[in-house]
Amino acid sequence: MTRWPHMAAAARVFAAALIIIATGTGNAMTITVGQTDGDLVGSDSRVLQSAVDRVHKGDGGTVYIKSGTYTMYNSLYLRSGVNVIGLGPSPLLEAAESVTVELAEDAGYGLAEIVVRDASGLRPGMGVTFSDDTHNSGWYVNVRTITEVEGNTIRLDEELDLDYLVARKGKVQTTFPIIFGKRVQRVRLENLTVDGNRSKTAALNGCRGGAIYFWKSEHCTIDACKARNFNGDGISYQVSPYITVTRCKSYRNASLGIHPGSGSHHTEVANCSIHDNGGIGLFLCWRVKDSEFTDNVIEHNGRDGISIGHKDTDNLFAGNTVELNGRHGVHFRAESETNGGHRNIFEDNYIRDNGQDEAGDGIHIDAVTYDIEISGNTIEDTARDGRVTQRNGIFVAEGVDGVKTRGNTIRGHLGEAIVNESEGARNSLQL
């Protein structure tokens, strides 16, 4: 990993964004969508999808969305080389209320024609998720689009790749990523507010969705967008390298705030606000490598502020404020030696007043994790509201080795500045 100071990283993000704009617009076709005027006029997902598809067929360019609320009955499917930018006050893309329908027959692998008990609430063009009592989370749900409805038979845009059984209470729900980049490149999202209508929609796990979601995509930018109130993750991208997230807000989502995972290497998350999510604020999951997370504010999340685990290696975390989260400020999850979150750098961060809901440390490193550098950080409990909640500054668990700390300000904790239970021979632990 190239170790960049966080200000240099921000400049690099901006330069990368300019390159994406320049290379992603092709012949620079533009279409404006509005609710009362524009090249296309409408107020739901159909008009937005029509605009994106038309620009894509025109060899790339930009869709500009005017202010207003657009009801989403399906994902806005992005296309390579098509940027989507909000004009004026950020336009709102809001999920429609979910419908849940039970299966009447088993929906098996390879099927695209499905029989349900009552299709009266389903329409062509709707986005749907398939699940049952066994296949109900992670990669074990399928997200599809209805192409036809005939009686209680629905036809899908793509065959299923798992089995959903009546005996396991199989069902179809109209839930989906609100913005979905599926196998796309060179896309920029800017100045959009995406709302999951959380109290009226079914849950969708972050592996398969989010308010804003990319899958098997690369060289895409999400800038100055809001992802909120989704019954799952705010911003999730899986198997998607070279994703840049800047100046975004992800908040009040049921699960994770920002969730890069499944080999999403060389990602950058900078100058974002991640707060009041039900789970973890910034969740690195499975092979997030060679990436930079800089100048973000991560606060008031229900679990940890930052979570690092399975082969999440060689990353830089600099200039972040991580405070008032439910448990740890930063947590290195317990992994095997081959799968540990090794060789990560934390510098110049503020980590304070975490452990609001349960016992938590400023930085908690579980085994097996090696070669972590922690320097120039302020790790403290300020006794906000008269409570001291952050248990220890840095906790190093048994089996951890090669942790180097220096130049940190650590103060005000219930326990110790640094707790070392590791017995690691290569640790160098000092304030």
pLDDT digits (tens, 9 = 90+) for 40-91: 999 999 999 999 999 999 999 999 999 999 999 999 999 999 999 999 999 9
pLDDT on residue 1: 42
pLDDT digits (tens, 9 = 90+) for 249-288: 999 999 999 999 999 999 999 999 999 999 999 999 999 9
pLDDT on residue 17: 44
- This prediction has a pTM of 0.94
pLDDT on residue 28: 87
Q: Are strands 212-215 and 179-182 parallel, antiparallel or unpaired?
A: parallel
* Cβ atoms of 251 and 273 closer than 8 Å: yes
Nearest Cα residue to 243 out of 20, 23, 84 = 20
Residues 6 or more apart whose Cβ sits within 8 Å of residue 293: 268, 269, 270, 282, 306, 315, 316, 317, 318, 320
Q: What is the mean pLDDT of the chain?
A: 94
Q: Judge whether residue 202 has pLDDT over 70.
A: yes
Give ranges for CATH 2.40.30 in the chain: 100-173
pLDDT-wise least confident of 200-204, 377-381, 423-427: 423-427
Q: Judge whether residue 355 has pLDDT over 50.
A: yes
* Tokens encoding 47: 């008009």
DSSP 359: -
Q: Where are the beta strands (DSSP E) in 79-176?
A: 82-86, 92-95, 100-102, 113-115, 127-131, 142-150, 153-156, 171-173
Gap between the Cα atoms of 77 and 13, Å rounded? 24
Gap between the Cα atoms of 217 and 215, Å rounded? 5
CA dist list (Å): 381 to 263, 359, 412, 425: 35, 13, 5, 29
**Hey, what amino acid is at 282?**
L
Q: Judge whether residue 345 has pLDDT over 70.
A: yes
Q: Judge whether residue 14 has pLDDT over 60.
A: no
Q: Which fold has domain 100-173?
A: Elongation Factor Tu (Ef-tu); domain 3 (2.40.30)
Residues of the chain above pLDDT 90, percent: 93
Q: Judge whether residue 248 has pLDDT over 60.
A: yes
Confidence of residue 27 (pLDDT cuts 50, 70, 90): low
* Tokens encoding 159: 């065959």
pLDDT on residue 2: 43
* Cβ atoms of 229 and 196 closer than 8 Å: yes
